[in-house]
Chain A
Amino acid sequence: MALLDIDRLSLSIGAQPILDDVSLTVRAGETVGIVGESGSGKSMTALSVMRLLPAGARTSGSIRLDGEDLMTRSERAMCGIRGRKIGLVFQEPMTALNPVRTVGDQIAEAVRLHLPLGRAAVDARVATLLKRVGLADQGVGPDRYPHQLSGGQRQRVVIAIAIAADPKLLIADEPTTALDVTVQAQILALLRDVAAAEGAALVLITHDLAVVADMADRIAVMKDGRIVEEAAPLALFRAPKSAETRRLIAATTATPRPVPAPKADAPLLVEAERVARAYPLPRARLFGPRREARVLDAVSVSVRAGESAGLVGESGSGKSTLARTILALDRPDGGTVRFRGSDLFAMTASELRSVRPEIQAVFQDPYGSFDPRHTVGRIVGEPLHLLGSACAPDERRRRIVDALDHVGLAEADAARYPHQFSGGQRQRIAIARAIVTRPALVVADEPVSALDVSLQAQVLDLLARLRLEMNLALLFISHDLSVVRAVTDRVYVMQSGSIVESGATNAVFSRPAHAYTRALLDAAPSLERALTRREAATVD
């Protein structure tokens, strides 16, 4: 008998249908992946199992765990099932932990709630769990607070809480989306390991095909609240039956149109030379020595006209700080940034204004980068004031329409507000704003990280097209190696404020010289690699 049996589950919230006739079984000890784009119903399926749905949700169908119907259980009975029989691992390890309580406390609470143990036994169980999730080996004791831990360590604590009462089913909802690639690999390995050791079934919810291809025994693909296909990884990815699966695979493996690399003698646009930046930290003691965090340590990068240069590194490596320095938003503590040969930070305000139209930016968050009170036309036209009187109202209007047209939006969209657009369209609006002054360089800071894969592919292709049409140079900043590989000619690899390796993208990715680059490449999930490994395993 299946451990978890979801039968014809439908869910609607208000008038909005969310899930439609979802049936899925999970056998004991098995790992089942659920993939799909945002809004496909992945998370809602998990929340239905936990009966943690938002107010106003109406469900039909049945959910059985070990033969017990969860849909008819009282809220009180569900409290005994959540944590005891089903463990949940959340996406955001920072918000999933209580910041004012020690991790030992929080794990102990999960143990005490479900297991009838004495104080000493609880403490022993906490110690075992900390060891089990690898925190003991990292020197993390039960007396630490969440803010003292890294993102990966916090996620280990969340996993320890999830397995505290030996549940038979673990549900992990995008458990590694908020983590860096090298940490992601470790956490996925830990999840697999823990599930196997405890004999628990694992339901892994993710948007990342490579992750499920690597981890799952069986994969369900969701779209618009339905399961459109369900199969073992090799069958699913080698012989996809549904259009949605094919679309997801195509988007994951899509490469944007090729852009010829610029000539070697193309003029240098931006040269950042030995840029340094440090933030002061609070003193350790009242009269202790001043302390500072070095965010950039003598970093030198350059971008030629028409070139696409990539900057990869994990969170906290200083990528965004460097971007802000090159955009002349933050003054560096040392070093220079020259644009077409003149030092940005030696310029007067009016000289800087004359350079600004040439360097524009696209930011990560498609929700946060627009003033919610402005229309799209006003947003896109914002940089045009830099052109001053050269840009009369007629010309202004023409430029805005032209920029919108370039990114595939209509003139009528200028009158709408950003919240009326989807995430992918918003990133097009952000790009339209960046190209409205016809810049020579666009600094794109994680421009596709917040988008679903199919939208990522479209936005990357749009950037490639704009480079062809406008001879645009790009400084492309990302933590995602496959994306950087697809769109850049040259790449800089950054680690804790320093460039550790740079060179032609193909050369660096195929023959990484630095250990850190190798570690990044090894850790990056790859659909093809996962499938090849599985095929090799079946042959053996």
Chain B
Amino acid sequence: MSETAIDGVNRRSMVARALRHPSFLIGAAITLTLLAAALVSFVWTPFPVAEVVIRDRLQPPNPVHWLGTDAFGRDIFSMLLVGARNSLGVAVVAVAIGIGIGVPLGLAAAAEGGLLDSILMRGSDLVFAFPALVTAVMITAIFGPGAINAMIAIGIFNVPVFARVTRGAARALWGREFVLAARVAGKTRARITVEHVLPNVASLIIVQSTIQFALAILAEAGLSYVGLGTQPPMPSWGKMLADAQTMMAIAPWLAIVPGLAIVASVLGLNLLGDGLRDVLDPRLDRTR
């Protein structure tokens, strides 16, 4: 048997598992829709997103404005598309900050142990000790509201999450015999981390990313809701919710549409994360 054939079997079984997994499929479908909406908004929206047409204000959903208009006559569907772009953008950067800093810290803590481990883990305890959203509010209040500061604020809270998850899984690997064998083979800690530890914790990090991604979307919506996230005239789902609040009785769709968008994307990402966990975990193959 050739190498490619073997490799092919493994990949095929993973794809087969994915295609049979309902929550993976639903989650992937929702996430792809979200992504498509964000990408489409760069090239096309039914109406210019910041265009105020007072004459058309507070229209319920109709053939021209598919999801209606808000108090300034702006097209809700267009705002939803651009809002998806903002939510995703903030979430991507926030998760990237978390992975970029948290994963190396977690790997280093697991590899070195001792004092470095203690310092890093007590440091992450410290970050965990502050309620995340409240501190994000504080950071944006000090450095000024805006999407960039929201990304950084949310990103900071992702760092200890990824550091913890990575360290836990990596430490378990450091006790395994194949890592011992690599040490007998004279490999340095850094090299063992890159060759053996990281690839074996990667699936865990991917799954955690989807969950953090969902949390970041929620956090961005929360910051925008209190006016500290994405700034007008850029639309964002949280801001749309905040604007809709006073008009719940006369124009309920204004709150329902962005609310559903937030719920759907969080749900979709969580389903995707659950699905990925099963798809990437080769142990399931053996038990079946």
Cβ A365 vs Cβ B6 within 8 A: no
Partner of B185, one of A375, A385, A420: A385
Report chain B residues within 8 Å CB of A430: 181
The distance from the CB of A323 to the nearest CB of chain B, in whole angstroms, is 10
Inter-subunit contact B200/A386 (CB<8 Å) = no
A382 and B187 contact, Cβ closer than 8 Å, known pairs A415-B6, A420-B6? yes
- The reply to whether the CB of B251 lies closer than 8 angstroms to some CB of chain A is no
Task: Tell me if B199 is interfacial: C-beta within 8 Å of chain A.
Answer: yes
Beyond A356-B185, A386-B185, A415-B6, is A364–B177 a contact (Cβ under 8 Å)?
yes
How many angstroms between the C-alpha atoms of A329 and B196 in the bound complex? 17
B2 within 8 A of A: yes
Residues of B within 8 A of A372 (CB): 200, 282
CB pair A369–B177 under 8 Å, yes or no, is: yes
* CB <8 Å contact, A383 and B177: no
Q: Which residues of B contact A345 (CB under 8 A)?
A: none
Q: Is residue A370 contacting chain B, with contact meaning CB distance below 8 A? A: yes
Residue of A nearest to B175 (CB): A368
B residues less than 8 Å from A382 (CB atoms):
181-182, 185, 187
A368 x B178 contact (CB < 8 A): yes
CB closest chain-B residue, reference A414: B3
Also in contact, A383 and B282, with CB within 8 A (given A373-B200, A415-B1, A420-B6): no
Known contacts A329-B180, A361-B181; decide if A386 and B186 are in contact (CB<8 Å): yes
Are B183 and A371 in touch, CB under 8 angstroms? no
A369-B177, A371-B178, A371-B200 are known contacts. Are A416 and B186 too (CB-CB below 8 A)?
Answer: no
**B184 beta carbon closer than 8 Å to chain A:** yes
Are B181 and A415 in contact, CB atoms less than 8 angstroms apart?
A: no
- Choose one: B6, B10, B181; the contact of A363 (CB below 8 Å): B181
Is B176 at the interface (CB under 8 A from chain A)?
Answer: yes
Report B193 CB to chain A, min CB distance, Å.
13
- B288 CB, nearest partner CB in chain A, Å: 8
Contact partner of A415 (CB less than 8 A), chosen from B3, B180, B184, is B3
CB distance from A235 to the nearest CB of B (A): 40
The interface residues of chain B lying within 8 Å CB-to-CB of A353 are: 186
Interface positions of A from 349 to 393, Cβ below 8 Å from B: 352-353, 356-357, 359-361, 363-365, 368-373, 375, 382-383, 385-386
User: Which chain B residues border A329 with CB–CB below 8 Å?
Assistant: 180, 183-184
* Chain A min CB distance to B198 (Å): 11
Which residue of A has the minimal Cβ distance to B195?
A371
Cα distance A306–B55 in the bound complex, in angstroms = 96
Q: Is the interface of B mostly helix, strand, loop or mixed?
A: helix
Q: Which residue of A lies closest to B10 (CB)?
A: A417
Query: Is A178 interfacial (CB-CB < 8 Å)?
Result: no
- Are A368 and B200 in contact, with the CB atoms below 8 A? no
Q: Say whether B1 contacts A412, CB under 8 Å.
A: yes
Q: Bound complex: CA of A359 vs CA of B184, how far in Å?
A: 8
B1–A365 CB distance below 8 A? no
Q: Find out whether the CB atom of B178 lies under 8 angstroms from the CB atom of A352.
A: no
**Bound CA span A371–B197, Å:** 9
Q: Are B185 and A415 in contact (CB under 8 A)?
A: no
Q: Is A327 an interface residue (CB 8 A)?
A: yes
B6 touches A370 (CB 8 A): no
* Neighbour of B180 across the interface among A363, A385, A416, A420, CB < 8 A: A363
Q: Is A433 an interface residue (CB 8 A)?
A: yes
Q: Which residues of A contact B195 (CB under 8 A)?
A: 371
The reply to whether A417 and B6 form a contact with Cβ atoms under 8 Å apart is yes
Min CB distance B279 to A, Å, is 16
* Cα distance A324–B184 in the bound complex, in angstroms: 9
Given A368-B176, A373-B199, A416-B6, CB of A385 within 8 Å of CB of B181: no
Given A373-B200, A412-B1, A420-B6, check contact A365 B177 (CB 8 Å): yes
Q: How far is the CA of A372 from the CA of B195 in the complex (A)?
A: 12
Contact yes or no, B182 A416, CB < 8 A: no
Most chain A CB within a 10 A radius of its CB, from B177, B186, B195, B199: B186
Give bound CA distance, A415 to B185, whole Å: 20
Q: Flag if B178 contacts A360 (CB, 8 Å).
A: no
The smallest C-beta distance from A238 to any residue of chain B, in angstroms, reads 41
Residues of A within 8 A of B180 (CB): 324, 329, 361, 363, 369
Closest to B286 in A: A419
A-B contact list, 8 entries, CB within 8 Å? A356-B184, A356-B186, A369-B177, A369-B181, A371-B199, A382-B185, A385-B187, A416-B1
Q: Beyond A357-B186, A361-B181, A433-B185, list 17 extra A-B contacts (CB 8 Å).
A: A327-B184, A356-B184, A360-B184, A360-B185, A363-B177, A365-B177, A368-B176, A368-B177, A369-B178, A369-B180, A370-B178, A371-B178, A382-B185, A382-B187, A383-B186, A385-B185, A415-B1
Ranked 8 nearest A-B pairs via Cβ: A415-B3, A369-B177, A383-B185, A356-B186, A363-B177, A368-B177, A386-B186, A361-B184
The interface of chain A, by Cβ under 8 A from chain B, is 324, 327, 329, 352-353, 356-357, 359-361, 363-365, 368-373, 375, 382-383, 385-386, 412, 415-417, 420, 430, 433
